[in-house]
């Protein structure tokens, strides 16, 4: 389980680096951190990467606060969409959603979905960032429509800096249609 969690953390940091690169921002510190991820991420490199990622992704004044409104509320909505799609994929694959790799809580029926969605969080980050830039940070109907389309990412190909990244399809196969432009923060 610890090696699997290491792979999830490495994938998450790689995706965060790709997101920053797509915005023309430095990602070398994140790439260096990847080398330090240990089995089970016992040195908490995931948190160190987050401290670098958030101010570069959302601006130096941004603070991630799950209980706050505005951009944080957009992120929460996007993460909820991703979590639901991941949970569906986990169940469709025949896995037990409450048995997580890292997240563990008797009250959390979707611990595995919470673990497996980690590398895909940046998709909600990019979409929320673009929505906030273009329309403001209100969680309105249009914002919800854009964020709801993130479910496609679990089933379709995403383009990261000219590199194809595939999500888990319900059938266990990948679908090469569609895609996501992280630099534009658009979801087809």
Distances (CA, A) of 11 to 69, 138, 142: 28, 30, 30
Phi, psi angles (nearest 5°) of residue 74: -60, -45
> Of 1.10.510.10, 1.10.3720.10, 1.20.120.920, 3.40.50.720, which CATH number belongs to 2-166?
1.20.120.920
Q: What is the pLDDT of residues 60-104, one digit of tens each?
A: 999 999 889 999 999 999 999 999 988 988 898 899 999 998 877
pTM of model > 0.85: no
pLDDT score at 155: 60
Q: What's the CA gap between 122 and 135, in Å, rounded?
A: 19
Residue 160 has pLDDT above 50, yes or no: no
Domain boundaries, the chain: 2-166
Distances (CA, A) of 181 to 19, 71, 166, 168, 185: 10, 20, 14, 19, 6
Other CB atoms within 10 A of residue 80 CB: 14
The span from the first CA to the last CA of the chain, in angstroms, equals: 34
Look at the block and give the residue holding tokens 């986990």: 90
């Amino acid at each position: 389980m610890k090696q699997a969690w290491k792979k999830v953390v490495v994938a998450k940091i790689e995706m965060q680096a790709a997101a920053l690169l797509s915005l023309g921002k430095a990602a070398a510190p994140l790439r260096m951190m990847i080398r330090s991820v240990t089995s089970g991420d016992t040195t908490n490199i995931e948190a160190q990467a987050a401290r670098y990622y958030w101010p570069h992704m959302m601006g130096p004044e941004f603070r991630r606060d799950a209980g706050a409104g505005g951009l944080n509320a957009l992120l929460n909505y996007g993460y909820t969409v991703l979590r639901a799609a991941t949970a569906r994929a986990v169940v469709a694959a025949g896995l037990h959603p409450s048995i997580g790799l890292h997240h563990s809580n008797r009250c959390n029926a979707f611990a595995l979905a919470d673990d497996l969605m980690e590398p895909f969080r940046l998709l909600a980050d990019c979409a929320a960032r673009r929505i906030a830039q273009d329309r403001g940070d209100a969680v309105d109907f249009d914002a919800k429509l854009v964020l709801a389309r993130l479910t496609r990412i679990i089933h379709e190909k995403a383009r990261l800096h000219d590199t194809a990244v595939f999500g888990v399809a319900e059938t266990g196969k990948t679908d090469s249609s569609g895609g996501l432009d992280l630099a534009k923060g658009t979801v087809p």
